[in-house]
Amino acid sequence: MKSMHSLLRQNAEIAFQKTQMQSNSHERLTNEIDENVRNRDEKTARLKAQRLAQVQITAPAKSRKTKPKS
Q: What is the DSSP string of 35-63?
A: HHHHHHHHHHHHHHHHHHHHHHHHHHHHT
Question: Which of 7-11, 34-38, 50-54, 61-65 comes out lowest in average pLDDT?
Answer: 61-65
Q: What is the pLDDT of residues 13-27, one digit of tens each?
A: 999 999 999 999 999
Per-residue pLDDT at 7 = 93
pTM for the model stands at: 0.59
Between these two residues, 68 and 31, which has the higher pLDDT value?
Answer: 31
* Angstrom distance (rounded) from CA 17 to CA 10: 10
